[in-house]
Chain A
Amino acid sequence: MTVSSLKQMLVMPSFEFLTGFKLAIKRLCKEPLGLLGLILVTLIVGSAILAPWIVPHDPIAIDVLNRLKGPSAEHWLGTDQLGRDIFSRVLMGSQVALKVAFSAISLALGFGLLLGLIAGFGPAWLDHIIVTLFDTVRSFPTIIFALAVVTLTGPSLTTIILVIVVTSIPIYGRVVRTQTQALSAQEFILAERALGASMPRILGVHMLPNVIGQLLILASMDVPIVITIEAGLSFLGLGIQPPTPSWGTILNDGYLFIRNTPWMIIAGGIPLILCTLGFTFLGESLRDIFDPKLRKDI
């Protein structure tokens, strides 16, 4: 037996989910960018969860005498226009950012996936209805749509999440629909039908694994976009209300005081950049891992 075939036997997953998951993590660690992504994401998620216990200062305590200071041993990232510790605010702000990003994206992804599969594989009339709905929603600019919803319901985190979910569903839905349509014309789907495979089986076992890769990438690149949308809405006073810290409000305050100090905008921007990089690397490696054609170890 050759070394490669021995290796293959060792690496090939059995079909238990847990072994598959362990192997995915193992393979992820073999790719430098994937590992970097995993570390960054773990770091960000970890600090967001632990934020209330690890903040060095109260993020909403005002200290007007020490306003707009640069970094120091006392305040690692300086202070803002009200003298609040920016490092503590960034840490606490990651909670809001991730809460919005995770819940909005996972909801949008779920609904988009479902609607996209139905539109792509279902009857033509249903496809028309769903696509028309997608187009209608996409024709509203997000901010205008948000303004309308906030007028009706009042500003809150839930409203922001709702607005982002509704406006992002078409993005995911369209990708899934196109992929599904391309796949359903392929012979292996016909072969499954000839075998008597049920609709849920065709969609779940044969379509889903072929569309999920693109979606993971899309979702990971959407994380920073969603965080900036939250920032924009908070800036307009439609989202997070002061004094609760969020990366968006830190960035926007930094923008207002950029003539006085660059530190606020740097402090608000760097976590956003790290977050973007982390999720993008992770997403790309996950796609490669789940696509046997892109996997390097077989």
Chain B
Amino acid sequence: MLNLLEARDVRVRFRSKSVIKSLIERDDDPFLDAVCGVSLNVKPGETFAIVGESGSGKTTLARAITGLVKAQEGSIRYLDKELIGLSSSQFRPLRRDIAMMFQDPIGSLSPRLTVESLITEPFKIHGVKVDDYAEEARRLLSMVGLPAHFASRYPFQLSGGQARRVGVARALALSPKLIVADEPTAGLDVSVQGEILNLLATLQSELGLSLLIITHNLSVVRHISDRMGIMYLGRFIEQGNTDDIFEQAKHPYTQALLSANHDPDPDAHSERIELQGEVPSLLQRPMGCEFHTRCPHAKDICRSQVPEMRYSTSGHQAQCHLIDAI
């Protein structure tokens, strides 16, 4: 099937020193790579999850896809349009198709606007003719399971879960094809997390949406996503079908991540893999395999050579020298 979104070798660089400082210190490369050659594709109706620790570049990748951060290299194609290099006015019509939800449920709603004006704002921004904004607001509120009288509330009067639903309604307003959701369950109670995920899943199957979900919550990933990619230092180190990865993680980092996730079955005894050390600085990427500083299996080859991405038949891919040995 044709990909809805296709990213190839996306690289996002941030300047790490001022121009003057890098001149004085004769630093030829005063940049750090927040996202370093990431490829992924999202098919229509599919959910893709990006998983990783804080600072692994997930949010930056999401913002690069939605054009909020400039990607320097690579290509991001939506249907057959290249997104990298578009000016903000060229990008604007595409924003009807690609909606984004942000981490902070309340903080991502403009504090002086009522819920009604917040969820009908997308129509005003894109000049979509609506006969009755109040009616439209009621329709969107009922879609996300909020009663109509919420239309007159202000963001600070909402709970986290309610604000998140308003965020979903806002994202849905223009009937997009892809929703990029940055930590949609962050800061919510477990029960509310469940409600929000079920809401997203229902809306997805009703409307045929594609979802790109950024999270560090593995239970969420397992619950909602079809495919997933694991990010470490701005790269995907493993990518594939969610079920494949949960059953048979290839990369030692993924194995460690999954082993740290609590299994609700009390009889299931899984060995917990504890990683040593800290995530290396993006300013000083390790030589060879970037994970070797923390890898329990690291060999000499890992310290000197960058591993290649290895593929299996089902599209499961991992970047490790020792896949067959582990």
Pairwise interchain contact A210-B125, C-beta atoms closer than 8 A: no
Known A194-B68, A196-B95; judge A9-B107 contact (CB<8 A): no
Segment at the A interface, from B96-104, B256-264, B294-302: B96-104
CB-CB under 8 A from A293, the residues of chain B are 111, 154, 156
Pairwise interchain contact A190-B68, C-beta atoms closer than 8 A: yes
Chain B residues 237-261 with CB under 8 Å of chain A are: none
Q: Contact flags (1/0) for A190-206 with B, using CB distance below 8 Å?
A: 11111111100100011
Which of A8, A186, A292 lies in contact with B156, CB distance below 8 A?
A: A292
Contact of A64 with B by CB under 8 A: no
Q: Contact flags (1/0) for A172-196 with B, using CB distance below 8 Å?
A: 0000000000000011101111111
Contact of A151 with B by CB under 8 A: no
Contact of B121 with A by CB under 8 A: yes
CB-CB under 8 A from A210, the residues of chain B are 111-112
Contact of A54 with B by CB under 8 A: no
Known A15-B117, A201-B125, A292-B154; judge A191-B149 contact (CB<8 A): no
Contact of B152 with A by CB under 8 A: yes
Contact of A12 with B by CB under 8 A: yes
CB-CB under 8 A from A32, the residues of chain B are none
In the complex, the chain B residue whose C-beta lies closest to that of A291 is B112
Known A195-B121, A292-B156, A293-B156; judge A187-B114 contact (CB<8 A): no
CB-CB under 8 A from B113, the residues of chain A are 205-206
Pairwise interchain contact A190-B108, C-beta atoms closer than 8 A: yes
Which of A9, A194, A209, A298 lies in contact with B95, CB distance below 8 A?
A: A194
Contact of B91 with A by CB under 8 A: yes
CB-CB under 8 A from B121, the residues of chain A are 195, 197
Contact of A5 with B by CB under 8 A: yes
Complex Cα distance A5/B151, Å? 12
CB distance from A292 to the nearest CB of B (A): 5
Pairwise interchain contact A5-B149, C-beta atoms closer than 8 A: yes
Complex Cα distance A293/B126, Å? 29
CB-CB under 8 A from B157, the residues of chain A are 298
CB-CB under 8 A from A291, the residues of chain B are 112
Pairwise interchain contact B104-A195, C-beta atoms closer than 8 A: no
Chain B residues 94-138 with CB under 8 Å of chain A are: 95-96, 99-100, 102-104, 107-114, 117, 121-122, 125-126
CB-CB under 8 A from B126, the residues of chain A are 196
CB distance from B147 to the nearest CB of A (A): 10
CB-CB under 8 A from A5, the residues of chain B are 149
Complex Cα distance A194/B121, Å? 12
Contact of B21 with A by CB under 8 A: no
Complex Cα distance A248/B117, Å? 48
Specify the main secondary structure of chain A where it touches its partner.
Answer: helix
Complex Cα distance A193/B100, Å? 10
Chain B residues 59-118 with CB under 8 Å of chain A are: 66, 68, 91-92, 95-96, 99-100, 102-104, 107-114, 117
Pairwise interchain contact A188-B122, C-beta atoms closer than 8 A: no
In the complex, the chain A residue whose C-beta lies closest to that of B157 is A298
Complex Cα distance A12/B103, Å? 29
Pairwise interchain contact B109-A188, C-beta atoms closer than 8 A: yes
Complex Cα distance A206/B125, Å? 13
Pairwise interchain contact A192-B110, C-beta atoms closer than 8 A: yes
Complex Cα distance A226/B141, Å? 50
CB-CB under 8 A from B117, the residues of chain A are 15
Q: Contact flags (1/0) for A132-152 with B, using CB distance below 8 Å?
A: 000000000000000000000
- Counting chain A CB atoms within 10 Å of each CB, the highest count among B66, B108, B110, B122 belongs to B110
CB-CB under 8 A from A194, the residues of chain B are 66, 68, 95, 99-100, 102
CB distance from B315 to the nearest CB of A (A): 30
CB distance from B143 to the nearest CB of A (A): 18
Which of B91, B95, B112 lies in contact with A292, CB distance below 8 A?
A: B112
Complex Cα distance A4/B157, Å? 14
Complex Cα distance A291/B111, Å? 9
Which of A15, A187, A188, A196 lies in contact with B125, CB distance below 8 A?
A: A196
Known A190-B68, A196-B95; judge A12-B109 contact (CB<8 A): no
Known A193-B68, A194-B66; judge A187-B108 contact (CB<8 A): yes
Chain A residues 1-24 with CB under 8 Å of chain B are: 5, 8-9, 12, 15
CB-CB under 8 A from A186, the residues of chain B are 107
Pairwise interchain contact B108-A188, C-beta atoms closer than 8 A: yes
Instruction: Given A187-B103, A190-B68, A191-B170, output 8 extra A-B contacts at Cβ < 8 Å.
Output: A12-B152, A188-B108, A188-B111, A191-B108, A191-B110, A196-B92, A196-B125, A205-B113
- 16 of the cross-chain contacts (CB-CB < 8 Å) are A9-B152, A186-B107, A187-B103, A188-B108, A190-B108, A194-B66, A194-B95, A194-B102, A196-B96, A196-B126, A198-B125, A206-B113, A209-B112, A292-B112, A293-B111, A293-B154
10 A-B pairs with least C-beta separation: A196-B95, A194-B100, A209-B112, A187-B108, A12-B152, A196-B92, A191-B108, A187-B107, A292-B154, A188-B110
